[in-house]
């Protein structure tokens, strides 16, 4: 059985990254950002190298951490002007190894996305994204572009997966356990991706999501969202980092088709835990997950800021 490993502290983000930016249009949710870096690190070549193309790069802290984790080059694209200014000021590297550009990845073609980066990007390319993934009703969605993932949380997933596929890249995608994970895996499988590793991090609902839980609760009712109700917070979920590789000819259909059910089973098992180490994942019995699973049991952030 692939092991469940646990990490009890921030490994990739620095103390400076854990300080709220204090800018109204810069996303700050360190657990989300940290998980995105783990996912990228799972996909980088052993020994380092290659390029990470980070779609929706936010504060830029993740991009800088991905370079520290071994990427030879990281280029982040974000549609927020204030976000981009922050990232360039604080996380672009003078040697050009970490760069950022303004762009809407749902509009740009893969070629246009690459053209936003100065210079050549060394291969292999890994595409990563921690997109806005909260299912929200339309009126609430307009208020929070940095977290609004449309009706099912996957509004941005199609564009992200499409870019990765067109670039022949492995893909790190972060979603919530309420962002219709079954459908996410189906979209990945349709595009020829299979899950290689899963990283989970329990997180209480953010204040805004807690005020607008309708869509999430409706999805839970339909069996398409997994919430965590037996943990320390009244309403929590799991951030789910999916490190995905392009499927090879030797992957069987069953391996690909089975992974949606197996991911849902994993989330339901995690949701039976009472502690943030997600101890239920160690319980004997039941089918073991087919991938290595990492649990991030992180100290709570000093603040959370979504815009
Ligand atoms: C959930 S935040 C994640 C930020 C960063 N990846 C992190 O993990 O800290 C999503 C980011 O995507 C950006 N974004 C949303 N839609 C986008 C789009 N269509 N194109 C580019 N960026 C987008 C937002 O401005 C926001 O900074």
pLDDT by 10s per residue, the chain, length 307? 568 999 999 999 999 999 999 999 999 999 999 999 999 999 999 999 999 999 999 999 999 999 999 999 999 999 999 999 999 999 999 999 999 999 999 999 999 999 999 999 999 999 999 999 999 999 999 999 999 999 999 999 999 999 999 999 999 999 999 999 999 999 999 999 999 999 999 999 999 999 999 999 999 999 999 999 999 999 999 999 999 999 876 665 555 556 999 999 999 999 999 999 999 999 887 778 899 999 999 999 989 999 9
Can you tell me the distance from the alpha carbon of 279 to that of 275, in angstroms, rounded to the nearest whole number? 7
Range of the domain at 16: 4-271+286-296
In a domain, 175, yes or no: yes
| Residues within a 6 A CB radius of ligand 1 | 27, 32-33, 36, 56-59, 62, 77-80, 83, 104-106, 130-132, 145-147, 156
Phi and psi (nearest 5°) for 206?
Answer: -70, 160
In a domain, 135, yes or no: yes
In a domain, 306, yes or no: no
CATH number of the domain encompassing residue 126:
3.40.50.150
In a domain, 278, yes or no: no
In a domain, 152, yes or no: yes
Domain count, the chain: 1
> How many other CB atoms are there within 10 angstroms of residue 106's CB atom?
16
**Ligand 1 atom 6: residue of nearest CA:** 57
280, 182, 296: which is closest to 238 by C-alpha?
296
pLDDT of 285: 78
31, 57, 44: which is closest to 129 by C-alpha?
57
In a domain, 259, yes or no: yes
DSSP tag of 20: -
Give the number of the atom of ligand 1 that is nearest the alpha carbon of residue 28.
9
Give the number of the atom of ligand 1 that is nearest the alpha carbon of residue 32.
8
Contact yes or no for 242/173 (Cβ under 8 A): yes
Pocket test for ligand 1, best of 59, 132, 134 (most atoms within 8 A of CB): 132
Distance from the CA of 77 to the center of ligand 1, in angstroms? 8
pLDDT of 105: 98
Which two tokens mark 247?
Answer: 């499927």
pTM of the predicted protein model: 0.96
In a domain, 233, yes or no: yes
In a domain, 277, yes or no: no
Pocket test for ligand 1, best of 56, 127, 199, 208 (most atoms within 8 A of CB): 56
For the chain, how far is it from start to end, CA to CA, in angstroms? 41
Pairing of strands 98-102, 170-176: unpaired
pLDDT of 284: 82
Distance from the CA of 56 to the center of ligand 1, in angstroms? 3
Which two tokens mark 88?
Answer: 């360039």
């Amino acid at each position: 059985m692939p092991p469940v490993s646990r990490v009890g502290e921030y490994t990739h983000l620095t103390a400076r990254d854990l300080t709220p930016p204090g800018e109204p249009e810069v996303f700050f949710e360190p657990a989300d950002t940290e998980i995105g870096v783990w996912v990228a690190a799972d996909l980088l070549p052993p020994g380092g190298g290659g390029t990470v193309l980070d779609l929706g790069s936010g504060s830029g802290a993740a991009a800088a951490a991905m370079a520290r984790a071994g990427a030879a080059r990281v280029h982040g694209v974000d549609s927020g002007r204030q976000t981009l200014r922050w990232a360039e000021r604080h996380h672009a590297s003078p040697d050009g190894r970490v760069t950022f550009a303004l762009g809407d990845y749902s509009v740009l073609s893969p070629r246009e996305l690459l053209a936003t980066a100065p210079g050549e990007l060394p291969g292999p390319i890994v595409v990563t994204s921690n997109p806005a993934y909260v299912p929200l009703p339309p009126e609430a969605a307009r208020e929070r572009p940095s977290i609004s993932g449309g009706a099912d949380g996957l509004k941005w997933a199609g564009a992200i997966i499409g870019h990765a596929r067109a670039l022949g890249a492995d893909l790190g995608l972060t979603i919530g356990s309420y962002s219709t994970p079954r459908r996410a895996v189906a979209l990945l499988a349709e595009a020829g991706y299979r899950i290689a590793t899963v990283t989970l991090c329990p997180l209480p609902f953010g204040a805004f999501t807690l005020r607008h839980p309708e869509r999430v609760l409706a999805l839970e009712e339909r069996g398409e969202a997994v919430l965590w109700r037996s943990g320390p917070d009244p309403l929590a979920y799991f951030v789910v980092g999916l490190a995905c590789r392009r499927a090879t000819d030797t992957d069987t259909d069953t391996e690909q088709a089975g992974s949606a059910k197996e991911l849902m089973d994993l989330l339901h098992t995690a949701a039976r835990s009472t502690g943030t180490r997600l101890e239920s994942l160690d319980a004997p019995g039941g089918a073991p997950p087919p991938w290595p699973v990492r649990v991030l049991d992180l100290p709570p952030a000093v603040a959370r800021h979504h815009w």
